[in-house]
Amino acid sequence: MADASYPDGLLYHPEHDWAQIDGETATFGITWFAQDALGEVVFFDPPQVGVQVTQGESYAEVESVKAVSDVIAPLSGEIVEVNADLADAPERINDDPYGEGWMVKVKLADAGEQQGLMDAAAYQAQLG
Amino acid sequence: MTPAAPTAPADDQRTIYERSQPGRRAFVAPALDVPARPLDELLPARLRRSAPARLPEVSEPELVRHYHRLSKRNFDLDTGFYPLGSCTMKHNPKLHERVAALPGNARLHPLQDERRAQGALELMWNLQEALGEIAGLPHVSLQPSAGSHGELAGVLLTRAYHEDRGEHRTKVLTPDTAHGTNPATVTMAGYEVVKVGTNADGGVDVDDLRAKADEQVACLMLTNPSTLGLFDPNIAEIAEIVHGVGATLYYDGANLNAIMGITRPGDMGFDIVHFNLHKSFTQPHGGGGPGAGPIAVSERIEPYLPRPQVIRREDDEGAAFLLDEERPKSIGKLRGFQGNYGVFVRSYAYIRSLGAEGLREASEVAVLNANYLLALLKRAGVAEYLPVAYDRLCMHEFVLSGAPMKRELGIRTLDLAKRLLDFGVHPPTVYFPLLVDEALLIEPTETETKETLERFAEIVAAILREAAEDPEIARNAPYSTPVRRLDEARAAKQPVIRQPL
């Protein structure tokens, strides 16, 4: 994806992660800014299904041609699904960070945590 | 004469194995002039190969061309300017090769009886003394064979020190600017890494350090100057906080080239230091070949040093040099034998050639060269695209950010780095340290001339002007190298690291 984009309807964490809420579960991924800063992603190391993740803490690793980086959970909960397609095609994180590049689905632990996240406009303002 | 078929790979693309012809040899063995003996008497069948090794069979000219061709496909320090930050790519004096090649050095066998290797042991002992003086810490082990190996030795010493006092600590602190080897070493030694933040001046965030320093912390690993090329003026306070919770303070010697003979890690309060003999002390870098990462330690860490230690003993018949194995609290051996001796010879030759004043001058000129180059790059035409990340007087290296260049000219730090190759310059370190966006880490070293630094600054300015006209040129660079832009993502995902025979 060549140009920056930050879709409305997603919630954003300052560590450059997004969450899409769907009832009691949410889908997580990293933002356009994050994938652009990383450069070409060559490996995604996902968590196990069933693992508990905590808001603000690392739940997975991405390796790009530049560095290995932690992926930060925007919300707390239990991993119910991981994007298995990223094992063979981690470049989807670059090509389609909000679509095919999604990383995990999580059963949310605390709906109140969403109050601490930003909308697209606030996140973009933070990027400066 | 017809040219080779266009489908065949170019001649310089063929590997030595593809040139092999059965039975072809690069030498002819002389006729046997001693009585022949059955092979079984010389080497039992169970120790012999059942089939010959699949070595390439080539003539001597092909063999020579093979190595010559490989050497030309490399960019090395003898080819051009190599300002690779944090690697201290200083000149490797050719005198050092001559002394390392002296028969007494080159033909020394690691199993030689120590009574017949007194000269070598004396050289090692003298090198230990010299490094101890440079570090301000008296006890030195030459055994670790790389900087990262020295780091591991240092963290294992820290563990031995705490456990000897009945303490089981779990965490090691590293700044967020640390070299990647620091957290890797910590993890390998069985500790948990805890990151300490960086303050607005590029130094350790002392408040963050104070908040994280507790009785579970075994050690703080630090470079000073830091990876940003900045000297941390709060080092005394940092040492006090770390020692206050009973932890050790570890000095990563990666940036020692800035301070030799000016200040000493031991005087700053560090307990353990590792040296990179291939950085500050002119052992050639390269190819994963032999290195050395000696460590120097304080009195309280000394009992745990690896064994054997080279010691000097004086008696009625004079001084003798021995390998001391009697070290009951030692962490043990870190490798076979005593380390990479040829590296010790070169680094000892360097220290003796320069002397104390010369080492100090080397560091002073390294810092002067870095500041001169930084001043040139702060001029109009460059500074608006590549601003310095922390605008202070730098030490031996400095960090620029390519973020404005990427935003305004549409070329990334990677593109600039690749384009530099077309001008016969090795790129600086890129995308490190991680906390600077589109980082370039530049270390010119003391062995480069003023004209070389000026030419580098002119090349950078020319690449930026060219990118303003046509960014595609840099985006597709390099053009003049043996291979064009490599597909790094594919190389990481589908590495081809061997040729099927």
pLDDT tens digits along B334-382? 998 888 999 999 999 999 999 999 999 999 999 999 999 999 999 989 9
pLDDT tens digits along B153-176? 999 999 999 999 999 999 999 998
Residue B389 pLDDT greater than 90, yes or no = yes
Name all contacts of B179-184 with Cβ < 8 Å and 24+ positions apart.
B179/B86, B179/B223, B179/B227, B179/B252, B179/B254, B181/B147, B181/B148, B181/B151, B182/B151, B182/B221, B182/B252, B184/B148
Structure-model confidence comparison of residues B434 and B194, the more confident one:
B194
pLDDT tens digits along A24-64? 999 999 999 999 989 899 999 999 999 999 999 999 999 99
First-last CA distance in chain A: 20
| CATH number attached to the domain at B356-491 | 3.90.1150.10
Backbone phi, psi, residue A28, to 5°: -115, 150
Tell me the whole-structure pTM to 2 decimals. Answer: 0.90
The CATH label, of 2.40.50.100, 2.40.440.10, 3.40.50.11890, 3.10.20.30, for the domain at A11-122 is 2.40.50.100
B interface test, pick of A42, A95, A127 with most B CB neighbours within 10 Å: A42
Residue A67 pLDDT greater than 90, yes or no = no
- CA-CA distance, B388 to B444, in Å (whole number)? 15
Is A4 near chain B, with CB under 8 Å?
no
Mean pLDDT to the nearest integer, B275-304: 90
What pLDDT is stored for residue A84 in this prediction? 95
Measured in angstroms, the CA of B494 and the nearest CA of chain A are apart by: 10
Given B432, B437, B488, which is nearest A65 (Cβ)? Answer: B488
A interface test, pick of B431, B490, B494 with most A CB neighbours within 10 Å: B431
- Are the Cβ atoms of A65 and B493 closer than 8 angstroms? no
Q: Is the dihedral of CA B364, B396, B409, A125 positive or negative?
A: negative
Structure tokens at B217: 């912390």
**Residue ranges of domains in chain B:** 95-353, 356-491
A-chain residue closest to B402, CA distance:
A37
| CATH number attached to the domain at B95-353 | 3.40.640.10
Which chain A residues are Cβ-neighbours of B437 within 8 angstroms?
A: 37
- Are the Cβ atoms of B492 and A37 closer than 8 angstroms? no
Q: Is B96 left (phi over 0), alpha (psi -120 to 50) or beta?
A: alpha
| Angle formed at CA A117 by CA A114 and CA A118, multiple of 5 degrees | 135
Given A42, A63, A66, which is nearest B431 (Cβ)? Answer: A66
Residue B1 pLDDT greater than 80, yes or no = no
Among B82, B153, B126, B175, which residue's Cα sits nearest to residue B424?
B82
Residue A118 three-state SS: strand
- What DSSP string runs through B27-85? --PPPP-S----HHHHS-GGGS-SS--------HHHHHHHHHHHHHTS--TTTS---BT
Residue B205 pLDDT greater than 80, yes or no = yes
pLDDT tens digits along B411-467? 999 999 999 999 999 999 999 888 899 999 999 999 999 999 999 999 999 999 999
Mean pLDDT to the nearest integer, B476-491: 91
Which chain B residues are Cβ-neighbours of A44 within 8 angstroms?
A: none
Mean pLDDT of chain A: 93
Residue B2 pLDDT greater than 60, yes or no = no
- What DSSP string runs through B321-389? EEEE---TT----SSSTT--HHHHHHHHHHHHHHHHHHHHHHHHHHHHHHHHHHHHHTSTTTTTTS-BS
- pLDDT band at B3; cut points 50, 70, 90: low
Residue B6 pLDDT greater than 70, yes or no = no
Q: Does this complex have an ipTM over 0.85?
A: no
- The helix or strand, by DSSP H or E, that contains position B182, with its residue range, turns out to be helix B181-188
- The helix or strand, by DSSP H or E, that contains position B153, with its residue range, turns out to be helix B147-164
